[in-house]
Amino acid sequence: MAESRTQNAPASMYRSREGLGTWEHRGKVAIVGVGVSPTARRWDGSPDTSVGAWSIVAMRRALEDAGVSPEEVDGLVMTRETATGSPWPTGDPVPEDFTKAFNPGVNPLDGITGLSSEWVLNNMPELTNINFTMYGPGCISRALVVAAQAVGDGLTETCLVMRGWHNLPGRYYVGQAGRAANTTLGPTKWTNTWGTVACYNTAMWFDQYCRKYGKTHEMHAPFVVNSKKNGLLFPEGYWAQHRPEALTVEDYLAARWIAKPANLYDNDIPICVSAAFLFTTPERAKDMKQKPVYILNHTSTTSQSRSVIATLEEAEASTDSMGRKTYEGAGIVPSDLSFENMYDGFAEFHQFHIEGLRYAGIKRGEALDLYQTDISIEGPNPVSPSGGNVGSGRTRFWCHVDTVQQLQGRAGARQISRPAEIGVTGTMTPMAVETLVLSATPD
């Protein structure tokens, strides 16, 4: 298997420590275009619906959205991984029709269960002037913060940022990695051996959270119902496109347990989809089609646990640090936020993020109380107007797409009622999260 010439971003590109002060490029990097491919529940095997093909669709849509011609793009930042629990079956051949449809990348499964910069550039010949490529590994949030720093540092001026997701037929994320390797290594020997579901750690945190603060699982229902409602207003999302099913509090409370106290609706649904963003300088953005959205700060928080599984207190301490870094680098305070779009890959850790941010004035243990108030897009404190993964399927990027669209005033039926001036968005877990503070103005 060949190695990609593109490198992972160095640690120096992430703002991962407290005390760094205001970001040196505050308001000097803009997001202008967004593009999202169609969605599907699982890959049907067609080359035209592969993660590679749909990533090309997303990037071309982002260029069209921004009004930028391909030859004007000089940078590409992307996430190479395209799933967290859907490996290619050992011994299965690469489909012949796929190899005939696309130019190869660095390994036979490029464009099917992963993406390299080589594959993208080999199959997008219109990108003729790319001179900067870099990976933000693992998550779209890393690619986004790396791109923000790269544009700010002058490494690229007009940069595509991309993440694709594949989902193959069969069971998802129930110990496949261990079975594929016929062994379990490191800390996974305590978890993957038994086929634990992905949400078990979050469920444990939520159970401890409720005990610590005197809350209940029932109090979580308004958040999930609101997220599903918002997702049905997201035309790019899976549920809006394929299964426009409303969710009631009664439906939520009656759902079967996956890992008690996490039920079916506390989990997101794996899908196939890709998204792309167009980053540039404010000067260049003036000539583009859409209103620019300015980046005030980006942060990275990766916290280590003292054990195999992080504790509730460690998750809270990690998101407290995230919140402090987010505001410090942006030069704002919690009351400056018009809305929040933090991650909800498992719905039961959203409260850790927004409590760490002190969103809407809440403190630790008060997020579920906030959920009992008006958290809708019409209300004074919109919570996850994107609907997140709960509302549109597992991607980790709906929150970023929506934040850009909210600040551009083109979120459609999801547009919040209060003026959208500053929003915060971030993925992924409480122990490993990148954030972006985005603003309608550079100040």
Task: Give residue 179's pLDDT.
Answer: 47
Tens digit of each residue's pLDDT (9 = 90 or more) over 155-193: 999 999 999 999 999 877 654 444 445 565 666 666 556
Tens digit of each residue's pLDDT (9 = 90 or more) over 320-374: 999 999 999 999 999 999 999 999 999 999 999 999 999 999 999 999 999 999 9
Interatomic CA distance for residues 113 and 420, integer angstroms: 37
**Which residues are registered as beta bridge partners of 33?**
278
Tens digit of each residue's pLDDT (9 = 90 or more) over 201-212: 999 999 999 999
Contact 173, 197 (CB under 8 A): yes
Segments of 318-357 assigned E as strands: 339-342
DSSP-derived secondary structure letter, 92: P
* Domain regions of the chain by residue span: 11-171+273-285
Q: Are strands 293-302 and 432-439 parallel, antiparallel or unpaired?
A: antiparallel
- Residues 6 or more apart in contact with residue 283 via CB below 8 angstroms: none
Residue 135 has pLDDT above 60, yes or no: yes
pLDDT band at 197 (very low <50, low <70, confident <90, very high): confident
How many CB atoms are closer than 10 A to CB 405?
A: 22
Tens digit of each residue's pLDDT (9 = 90 or more) over 42-94: 999 999 999 999 999 999 999 999 999 999 999 999 999 999 888 999 899 99
DSSP-derived secondary structure letter, 22: S
Segments of 46-98 assigned E as strands: 75-78
Interatomic CA distance for residues 198 and 85, integer angstroms: 9
Residue 391 has pLDDT above 60, yes or no: yes
What's the sign of the alpha-carbon dihedral 52, 69, 412, 143? Answer: positive
Mean pLDDT for 411-424 is 98
The pLDDT > 70 percentage for the chain reads 94
Q: How many helices (H) and strands (E) does the chain have?
A: 15, 11
Segments of 146-259 assigned E as strands: 158-165, 257-259
Q: 97-128 burial, b if ≥16 CB within 10 A, otherwise e?
A: ebeebbebbbbebbbbbbbbbbbbbbbbeebe
Interatomic CA distance for residues 180 and 378, integer angstroms: 47
Mean pLDDT for 383-406 is 98
Interatomic CA distance for residues 270 and 156, integer angstroms: 33
Task: Provide the CB-side half-sphere exposure for 280 (13 A, CA).
Answer: 24
The continuous run of DSSP H or E covering 228 comes out as helix 221-231
Q: What angle do CA 402, 352, 78 make, to 5 degrees?
A: 45
* Amino acid at position 225, single letter: V
The model's pTM: 0.95
Task: Give residue 193's pLDDT.
Answer: 60
Mean pLDDT of the chain: 95
Residue 413 has pLDDT above 70, yes or no: yes
- Cα-trace Rg, the chain: 21
Interatomic CA distance for residues 250 and 69, integer angstroms: 49
Contact 34, 161 (CB under 8 A): no
How many residues does the structure list for the chain? Answer: 443
What's the sign of the alpha-carbon dihedral 165, 39, 69, 285? Answer: negative
Q: Are strands 158-165 and 75-78 parallel, antiparallel or unpaired?
A: parallel
* Fold that domain 11-171+273-285 belongs to in CATH: Peroxisomal Thiolase; Chain A, domain 1 (3.40.47)
Mean pLDDT for 269-273 is 97
Task: Give residue 170's pLDDT.
Answer: 81
Task: Give residue 171's pLDDT.
Answer: 73
Mean pLDDT for 137-158 is 98
pLDDT band at 298 (very low <50, low <70, confident <90, very high): very high
- Residues 6 or more apart in contact with residue 350 via CB below 8 angstroms: 223, 342, 343, 344, 367, 383, 384, 388
Encoded tokens for 113: 């269960």
Mean pLDDT for 125-134 is 98
Segments of 257-292 assigned E as strands: 257-259, 262-263, 273-280
Mean pLDDT for 261-281 is 97
Interatomic CA distance for residues 167 and 87, integer angstroms: 9
